[in-house]
Amino acid sequence: MTARIGVITFPGTLDDGDAARAVRHSGAEAVSLWHADADLHGVDAVVVPGGFSYGDYLRCGAIARFAPAMTSVIDAAGKGMPVLGICNGFQILCEAGLLPGALVRNDKLHFVCRDQWLRVENTTTSWSTRYDSGAEVLIPLKSGEGGYMADKPTLDRLEGDGRVVFRYVGENPNGSRGDIAGIASESGRIVGLMPHPEHAIDALTGPSDDGLGMFYSALDALGAVAA
């Protein structure tokens, strides 16, 4: 079975093309999903990509969370479908209640664009099994509102349950609590992170191919074969 992974496009999405390319690079079929269409077209997993959905009006991800496509994603995620939220996609998943916490303005109030080292903390999610625990990976980061925030009980629960998937290495780029770069749902099938693995799938065009492991992990979780 060749996995079919959907990539949602909202008004203002920037990285849907690169996310679809990463899906294809992993050997899966990339399926374009339109924000206004509630039909997920039978996909096996969904990527909510980065960008500035709806111009980031009100709050990053606050409007996108109510799009018909996201209503279907919320329902499918509740039934076990793997979902990956990247940058703005992470913000949307938090707004949708699929992941806890929120992403706020970077602590130095500047947009950050750089290649960022991350440490892999959890290798049991649907999107991280291809990594070794403690491995350091180089992934591009580009965001103005990427500081992960949550109250202390939520942070304690994430840390205690091992749901921090990726952590920033070295200088914290945005003031995220606990240097958190990415987290998982309780089931481990939903993951959100601020850095962009889809920009690190080929050492020729990115700083590394370290991001490809996330897409291979999803294929493993789905029991799929690369095309």
The residues annotated as belonging to the active site are 87, 196, 198
Q: Is there a contact between 155 and 91 (Cβ–Cβ < 8 Å)?
A: no
Residue 118 pairs in a beta bridge with 137, 168
Q: Strand, coil or helix: what is 98?
A: coil
Q: Which of 112, 102, 164 lies closest to 140 in space, CA to CA?
A: 112
Residue type, 42: G
Residue 114 pairs in a beta bridge with 141
Q: Is there a contact between 221 and 128 (Cβ–Cβ < 8 Å)?
A: no
Q: Which residues contact 44 (CB under 8 A, 6 or more apart)?
A: 3, 4, 5, 81, 82, 222, 224
Residue 167 pairs in a beta bridge with 119, 180
Residue type, 58: L
